[in-house]
Structure 1
Amino acid sequence: MPRRRLTAAVTKEGKWYVARCLEVEVTSQGETLEEALANLREALELYFEDASADLPDTGPIIAPVDIEVKQA
């Protein structure tokens, strides 16, 4: 079985860590960072079991975006 490295972005939302794959629309969560990543890994493996789900050819372009936030 071929292996592929994908990119996860993890945020803390309340008591949960939310892990999102940047290449495909798959998200999972866990009470710890490790649990969130393990759950995302499992969700991605299930996602790619579907024959119609193709692996992306390239990784995402990661770029910072600066914004101004007006204080109320």
Structure 2
Amino acid sequence: MSNKYEMIIYWSEEDKAFLVEIPELSGCMADGLTYLEAVANAEIVIQEWINTAKELGRTIPVPKGRLMYA
């Protein structure tokens, strides 16, 4: 899979896992016990988010790349 959406990746001490947020896709998040696992899971969730949006006839945001506030 390949996407161009920005991912914000950080360690959560509370969850004992890496969390990934995809700000351009509302509610799209993933996690993993390792950094690489979290990114791989995020790739899957992004594709699932896009597929669901298509099925529901919703607009899919165009990736903007690096966001200024991140």
TM-score, structure 1 as length reference:
0.71
Give the alignment's Cα RMSD to 1 decimal: 2.0
Q: Supply the distance in 2 between the matched residues of 1:38 and 1:58 (Cα, whole angstroms).
A: 20
TM-score, structure 2 as length reference:
0.72
Paired residue total: 62
Give the gaps of 5 or more residues in structure 1.
Answer: 65-72
Give the gaps of 5 or more residues in structure 2.
Answer: none
Bigger Cα Rg: 1
SS in 2 for 1:7: coil
More helix by share: 2
Higher relative contact order structure (alpha carbons within 8 Å, sequence separation ≥ 6): 2
Task: Give the percent of matched residue pairs that are identical in Structure 1 and Structure 2.
Answer: 15
Q: Supply the distance in 2 between the matched residues of 1:43 and 1:61 (Cα, whole angstroms).
A: 20
